[in-house]
Structure 1
Amino acid sequence: MDVFNYDPAAVLSLLLTIMRVSIVMFMLPVFSTNNIPIPVKAAITIVFSLGVWPHLALSGAAMPAHPFDVALMLLGEVVLGLVLGMAVNFLFMGIQAGGELLGFQMGFTMINFADPLTGNQTGATAFFLWMVSLLVFLALDGHLYMLKGFAASFALVPPGGLFIGENLLWQVLHLAAQVFVLALKIAAPVMVALFMVEVALALVARTSPQIHIMEFGFPIKIGVGFFFVGLLLVVMADHVEQFISGMDALFTNLLRGMSPLYQ
């Protein structure tokens, strides 16, 4: 863009691109963490916007003139970012929920950490599984798949053209249901093993009442729990890999559900 040959359409197009990048991309996991300073996020927004603008620019003619229409457009961008970010966050939420169940069974409910994404307190086991799943997600280039899906939104969902219909709602509900399914898949094997330990300790307490089961059983439950959590990491990595392999189709279906071109 030539600064000495001012083109209002080009400036408005750049503003729309920056608007979508700044709102949508930083609602996606990894980029939305509170550990990234705000100046760094602003710099990444500007650099990324300038990088995609020549190829994925939004038309400057889409910029409304009335402030109320601009507010509606901003609201649509927020909803778009929330839906795309929530679709990926469901994976980590399911793993965290499974980790919370494991922490309860292993007796780690009194040990909490601050979740970097939400700022809430989470259990030690859930925090560990979340960190491992995030590292696997980054190692398998999951963040690049997120950026690829985000880039597809420029073509499928024009600014101010967000459509929320029945198809989108059913997709979100289906993803929400998968959170509980994934949590059970993560926690069930370890919970079964710990249940068998509880049964064995009950038999020991019945046959040998002089043994202090509380002092004897607590380290056994922790040791068995850690052993099966180590085995669980391989299974969890497979779940993350399957999710990343289907992320293209997931983002495409969500964007089509929000696009007026496919209604």
Structure 2
Amino acid sequence: MAASLVISDLQINALVSFFVWPFARILGLMLSEPIFSSRSIPRRFKGGFALILTVLVAPLLPPMPAVPLVSAEGVAILLNQLLIGIMLGFVMRIVMTAMEMAGMIASAQMGLGFAMFFDPQHSASVPALSRVLSMFVTLLYLALNGPQIVLSVLIDSFNTLPVGQALPTDSLQALAVWGGHIFSWGLWLSLPVVAALLVTNLAIGVMTRAAPQFNIFAFGFPLTLMIGFIALYLVVPLMVPAIETIYQQSFGLMRSLLQAAPVAAP
């Protein structure tokens, strides 16, 4: 008589939770990380990539908690894993937004605030200069193997903060402090262009004062536009080391964000 295969509810729950909880953390990263969350990537590809990555990573993870998936505690663990993935991806999103802030400040000083460009990433109109700088920082992010490092940090996070452990209370505070750098970094990166245009505007003011018949509207706008582009052309190569440093700080924050005492954002 052939023996029948009997699978209990506990075994089914353990098998499903073995993949669902890691999948939630990986999917959270896919929803917030700048490259993987791009609207140009089809959703089926994102979901399929997250599923394949879960199947490859799940056998290497620490044991899952013995908690029923369909329960209040199981749903809480699921939401916690989703929040962890979103937090990790949001760290890199803040860096991209800081560069866009620098473009907004520079374009406003150059008189290009009216030159808007539709950004499919945010589904909104942004200054054209912000879009250009955003593409520049994205290419630099790819050149530094940013997506590979982010995936490596994500996989290591399952050992740093296994599934079932609560998120450190200081993590959200550290992420909020990190988000505050959007404005400081945006001003810092655009400061050379702003300083050059400030000197230009002062020179135009002196010329207007010395010669009242001087037509500031016919001469001032082309001059500020030209000086702004020249300053931007000279400054962009110098931004590379600064942005690389910011990216290295981002990777370090991602690694420390899930520890018991996360390191404060620099």
TM-score scaled to structure 2, two decimals? 0.85
2:211 is matched with 208
Asked if the contact 2:107–2:127 (Cα under 8 Å) also holds between the matched residues in 1, the reply is yes
Displacement of 1:225 in angstroms is 0.6
Deviations 1:31-81 (A, max 9, x none): 1122211111122112222222333x3534445344322321232123212
1:114 and 1:5 map into 2 onto residues whose CA distance is 57
1:220 corresponds to which of 219, 223, 230 = 223
- 1:25-44 aligned within 5 A: 25-44=30-49
1:198 is matched with 201
1:107 and 1:64 map into 2 onto residues whose CA distance is 59
Can you give the 5+ residue segments of structure 2 that lack an aligned partner in the other structure?
Answer: none
Asked if the contact 1:16–1:63 (Cα under 8 Å) also holds between the matched residues in 2, the reply is no
Asked if the contact 1:17–1:53 (Cα under 8 Å) also holds between the matched residues in 2, the reply is yes
Can you give the 5+ residue segments of structure 1 that lack an aligned partner in the other structure?
Answer: none
1:162 and 1:211 map into 2 onto residues whose CA distance is 67
Matched, 1:17 2:58: no
Q: Which amino acid aligns with 2:117?
A: F
Cα 1:258–1:26 shift into 2, 3 Å: farther
2:175 and 2:50 map into 1 onto residues whose CA distance is 27
Question: What SS does the aligned partner of 1:246 have?
Answer: helix
The count of residues paired between Structure 1 and Structure 2 equals: 254
1:83 and 1:11 map into 2 onto residues whose CA distance is 24
1:44 and 1:31 map into 2 onto residues whose CA distance is 10
Asked if the contact 1:18–1:49 (Cα under 8 Å) also holds between the matched residues in 2, the reply is yes
Q: Which amino acid aligns with 2:192?
A: P
Deviations 1:81-123 (A, max 9, x none): 2321222122112111111111111111112123333222211
Deviations 1:210-237 (A, max 9, x none): 3321111111111111111122212321
1:255 and 1:19 map into 2 onto residues whose CA distance is 16
Displacement of 1:23 in angstroms is 2.5
Matched, 1:52 2:57: yes
1:67 and 1:73 map into 2 onto residues whose CA distance is 10
2:221 and 2:125 map into 1 onto residues whose CA distance is 24
Displacement of 1:199 in angstroms is 1.1
2:216 and 2:78 map into 1 onto residues whose CA distance is 60
Cα 1:101–1:159 shift into 2, 3 Å: same
Percent of matched pairs sharing the same residue: 25
Asked if the contact 2:102–2:130 (Cα under 8 Å) also holds between the matched residues in 1, the reply is yes
2:149 is matched with 145
2:80 corresponds to which of 70, 76, 79 = 76
Question: What SS does the aligned partner of 2:258 have?
Answer: helix
1:50 and 1:37 map into 2 onto residues whose CA distance is 20
Asked if the contact 2:28–2:86 (Cα under 8 Å) also holds between the matched residues in 1, the reply is no
2:38 and 2:139 map into 1 onto residues whose CA distance is 14
2:160 and 2:27 map into 1 onto residues whose CA distance is 18
Displacement of 1:10 in angstroms is 4.1
Q: Which amino acid aligns with 2:105?
A: L
Question: What SS does the aligned partner of 1:104 have?
Answer: helix
Deviations 1:124-152 (A, max 9, x none): 11111111011101111111111111112
1:80 and 1:163 map into 2 onto residues whose CA distance is 8
1:11 and 1:96 map into 2 onto residues whose CA distance is 41
1:250 is matched with 253
2:98 is matched with 94
1:176 is matched with 179
- Larger mean Cα displacement after TM superposition, 152-161 or 35-44: 152-161
- 1:117-132 aligned within 5 A: 117-132=121-136
Q: Which amino acid aligns with 2:182?
A: V
What RMSD over aligned residues (CA atoms) do the two structures have, in Å? 2.4
